[in-house]
Amino acid sequence: MVNFNERINRVNSLSVKWDGMENVFGHSDLLPMWVADMDFRPPEQAMEQMKQRIEHGIFGYTIIDEKVKNAITSWTNKRHNWKVDHDWLLFSPGVVPSIAIAVQAFTEVGDKILIQSPVYTPFFNIIESNMREIVNSELILKNGRYEIDFNDFEEKLKNDVKVFLLCSPHNPTGRVWSKEELGRMAQLCEKYDVVIIADEIHADIVLPPYKHIPLASLNKAYADRTLTLMAPSKTFNLAGLQASFMVAQNKEMRNKIAEIQAKNGFFALNTFGIIAMEAAYTYGEHWLNDMLSYIQANVDLIKTKVKEALPKLEVIESEGTYLVWIDCRKTGLNDADLRKVLLEKGKLAVNFGDAYGPGGEGFIRLNAACQREIVEDGVKRLIYALEAY
């Protein structure tokens, strides 16, 4: 069993999470529980194969071979019961770059793209920087759980939306969409002829009893209008290696993506991204299962301690992702004050909810993918900062 308790110093490792705080928060002396990466090393075999490649010593142009495609499709089949053909795969340095490419491939300037806030900040940035229009169907928080307002969802789609950008599992709310919810969203997209970009980067980080279902695995008709985006980056903590993939069953959609990628000069991935992706998908399943148990215990600890010490806060149940979404609205602090208290008094770096669009105000997002010791320290800081409110 991997020792997830082992502390690994990430300071001065070019880490956004550990070395980027001064830039983002104006303080460098914070405990970093922001940015969605983990403080864990990836599976041993991924490390080993990269080390061997370094020893080889020649880093010329690299091909994406059938072996890595096989590792990916075996993984989607084994973990998600989703059979993917090698031909349906496309590659990209990241899921955010893939969203940008897909927005350019499937929409024109001024077209409407539907999202469900509060949601991952780059969804807003990519749509706006490509001069498309954001249409938002805000999720509703009902009895501590986020739901889709399907009437609103349909009303919005009806109004000439071209693309629905789905986040599944959903960051930051931690929802793992059920088969029924996915089916209803896909059915409405079919009714109004809307293309689906399914960002499923968190697919593998799902806590029992929940189960991730790739939207495109529901049926061929839904798959035919869907571009699915996945990666080993969240799953195995490989984000810095910049390797991800897309799945498009529909050949026309695939060709359109390939055309935009070619226009932008994209042709292959980083050598180490390919090596680590293949090794992690091939050998990393035990590591992932152990990691998920560790995360579950971290999430439970946060929930229990916060409930005990800060009854005004509500920790939203994390069904998936290693992110914990906490409702702080009953403290009466506005976003600026919440920020000030957590950064200056608590010395704790979290993501603040207002960055996730409408519905995010007054919330914080805490990253639980770290050593237990850090979680305990982080919770202490949170309590110290907020107990007076």
Ligand X SMILES: Cc1ncc(COP(=O)(O)O)c(C=O)c1O
Residues that bind ligand X (CB under 6 A): 36, 94-96, 120, 167, 171, 199, 201, 231, 233, 239, 244
In the bound state, the residue with its beta carbon closest to ligand X is: 94
φ/ψ region of 324 (left if φ > 0, alpha if ψ in -120 to 50, else beta) reads beta
CB of 14 to ligand X, least distance (A): 15
CB of 136 to ligand X, least distance (A): 16
Please identify, using beta-carbon distances, which residue of 168 and 371 lies nearer to ligand X: 168
Alpha helices in the chain (DSSP H): 16-19, 21-25, 44-56, 66-80, 95-106, 122-129, 150-158, 179-191, 220-223, 232-236, 251-263, 271-283, 285-309, 335-340, 372-386
CB of 243 to ligand X, least distance (A): 9
Q: Tell me whether strands 133-136 and 112-115 are parallel, antiparallel or unpaired.
A: parallel
Asked if residues 244 and 281 have their Cβ atoms less than 8 Å apart, the reply is no
Tokens of 256: 């359109």
Please identify, using beta-carbon distances, which residue of 206 and 385 lies nearer to ligand X: 206
Token look-up 């070395």 returns 19
CB of 81 to ligand X, least distance (A): 22
Cα 113 to chain center, whole Å?
Answer: 19
Nearest residue to 82 via CA among 218, 178, 234: 218
Please identify, using beta-carbon distances, which residue of 231 and 310 lies nearer to ligand X: 231
Sign of torsion, CA 71 299 117 333? negative
Please identify, using beta-carbon distances, which residue of 205 and 333 lies nearer to ligand X: 205
CB of 311 to ligand X, least distance (A): 29
Please identify, using beta-carbon distances, which residue of 95 and 103 lies nearer to ligand X: 95
CB of 67 to ligand X, least distance (A): 22
Please identify, using beta-carbon distances, which residue of 30 and 241 lies nearer to ligand X: 241
